[in-house]
Amino acid sequence: MKLKPWMAGNGRLLFLMVTVLVLSVGLAGRLDTLVAQEPTLPPVIPDAAVGHDIFLDRCANCHGLTGQGDGALSSDLPAPPADYTDPEFRRSRLPGMMYNSITNGILESGMPPFGPENSEPVSEEDRWHVLATVYSLATPLEAVEAGRTVYEGNCAACHGETGLGDGPDAANAEAEMPDLTAARYWFNRSNEIVFEAVAGGGIPEHAYELTEQERWDVVDYARTFSYHYVNPNAPAELLEGARISGFVTNGTTSGVVSEGVEVLLRGFSQDFEPVVTVTTTVAADGSYLFELDPVDPDWVYLASARYHDLSFSSDVGQISPTEPELVLPIMVFESTTNPDAVVMDRIHVLLSFGQDTLQVDEFYVFSNPTVEVFVGESGVPAAGTVRFTLPEGAQNINFQRSFASMQSLMPATEVIQLENGIYADTLPLNPGETELNLIVSYDLPFEEGMTVERPLLYNTLEANIIIPGEGVTLAGDGWVDQGVQEMPGGSFSSYIKSNMVAGDDFSFELNGRPSLILDEAGNMLPVQNNSTNELIVGGAVLLIVVVGAWFVLNRYLTGDNYAENVESEQEEIDRLLLAVVDLDDAFEAGRVDKAAYQEQRQKLIGELAAMWPSHQS
């Protein structure tokens, strides 16, 4: 998967360096447990078709859908993943070393282990299947077909049609014919090693004239005797039939929903255009079933049920040739109007300065720790659900909704103003952690000694205020100064306050004059030399950097392993696709005008197309 770049230059470098630090902190303690494993030969011939599904699920996040090293997490790693499609890769790599890398990881490059050290380990057999997928992604079909022609004309007489070393001339050869289907032969042989072995005169009593390219091609083909090759660019074949099923359960009561509730199944093509829309009703046991024929394995599916006028959706799923049955459970919840269901996990605040202006970017992270969906205190989501306040005098107010842990931003057009200084989202808050991420940007007139204040409407676990540069200090009850931290592109001060309750004042005082201000282009410049060309990280970029770093830190230090981080990426994919569905529904209902609909949908689809590991045979 590959996310669109969301920042460049100093900001991207800064985030990368923060991530490197986080990786070292989060994984360094495990170095002593990652002991090299004794190489294990595959119990069956590795199959790229089997390994492909595992590759998409566990590897494509970094290595990319086609193995080009351009996955969604690739830019966050200390070293870029290898590009399998580079000919040098398949020519120089040893299968045994690659298998060990999959098993034990390469921590200095940010690659986790997928062997026994992983809490969800990939089996030995499946690791070999994944390696077969890597070789398939690395080897073009043209090379295999060209190599077959060379092999049949120059090699099969001794090595046999299937590489077993049982050709008609094998008995007369001086040297014993190796079994080219055996992993043991290839385990510690790269293509380069075999390439040199078949150079002119390299095989006793065997005269042949092969060009350099023909030698590379025949080695590529000969290696396929040891694994089941799959053409990575072959078009997906339609499946004769598939079943999509699941249960609709009530997460509040732990029971199943009543018979007759309608379930809507939507299918989306690779470009995330709707291609399937069918409905059915829930059976008495809470189950539903869709039978589809034929099925394109590139399509993805999302099931939803409407319960008490609220829509609840499954995760996103995909059917494959090896798994033609897809289970998409749907969980619905009873609703609540009790604001105690809302907890603000974090408020990250970045304070930037213009000419006599305080520019504020705030990132809110909301959770719902209950088993009921919060629909607002009025019980009508359109009248406002999660509320928040802004300081008096806030101007140029802008709201954005965050996906993919700050890597995807969309206008939060659903936010409404209730009264002066109070705003509200109109989307229900489902149970779960970090269910709502909002960014609010606004300006305030700046003067030295000013106080910024407003009341908190919900219990808040922690707030963090970041001030780029030096010169301005923060004071206020409960705020803890974290000191000045140096980072690429400049320094910033950080203040933290914890465990605030609903009704508390969220307030602080600013003293001093800023050493950095934002220019009209959004770049930070030293106050003492406004004409300098040395650009420092822009305000909004720094917010993304710091908050993005918090997300990475949270993933690595609170998660058990990398596999859970991959799951969180899948959750973001689900949310993006749900956002497409909601946007489509809003447009059909006339709540969004055509221009805004097209613009927002294009942005969402761009992110999805870059992230989703669509099936490729």
What confidence tens digit (pLDDT) does each residue in 522-545 have? 455 555 543 333 333 344 444 544
- The better pLDDT of the pair 84, 41 is held by 84
> Is the confidence at residue 487, as pLDDT, over 70?
no
The 10s digit of each residue's pLDDT in 314-369 is: 988 888 877 889 999 999 999 999 999 999 999 988 888 887 889 898 989 999 99
Q: Give the residue with greater pLDDT, 447 vs 79.
A: 447
Handedness of CA 153, 157, 160, 161 (dihedral sign): positive
Residue 525 has, within 13 A of its CA and on its CB side, a CA count of 16
Share of the chain above pLDDT 70, in %: 75
- Output the DSSP codes for 452-505: EEEE--S-EEEEEEEEESSSEEEE-TT-EEEEEEEETTEEEEEEEEEEE-TT-E
Question: pLDDT category, 418, cuts 50, 70, 90?
Answer: very high
* Residue 455 near residue 420 (C-beta atoms within 8 A): no
Q: Residue ranges of the alpha helices (H) in 46-106?
A: 48-58, 60-63, 87-92, 95-104
Q: Which of 77-86, 105-114, 330-339, 424-433 has the lowest mean pLDDT?
A: 105-114
Mean of the per-residue pLDDT values for the chain?
A: 79
Q: How confident is the model at residue 203 (pLDDT cuts 50, 70, 90)?
A: low
Percent of the chain with pLDDT over 90: 45
Closest CA to 132 of 165, 173, 102: 102
For residues 148 and 163, what is the distance between their CA atoms, to the nearest angstrom?
Answer: 11
Confidence class for position 293, pLDDT limits 50, 70, 90: confident
| Mean pLDDT, rounded, for 51-58 | 87
The pLDDT value recorded for residue 408 is 57
The yes-or-no verdict on residue 273 having pLDDT over 70 is yes
Q: What is the pTM of this model?
A: 0.60
The helix (H) or strand (E) run that includes residue 223 is helix 212-223
pLDDT of residue 571: 61
* Dihedral (CA of 224, 225, 227, 231) sign: positive
pLDDT (mean) for 383-405: 87
> Which band of pLDDT confidence, cut at 50, 70 and 90, is reported for residue 205?
low
Residue 202 confidence (pLDDT): 59
Residue 489 predicted with pLDDT over 80: no
pLDDT tens-digit map of 156-191: 999 999 999 999 988 887 778 899 999 989 999 999
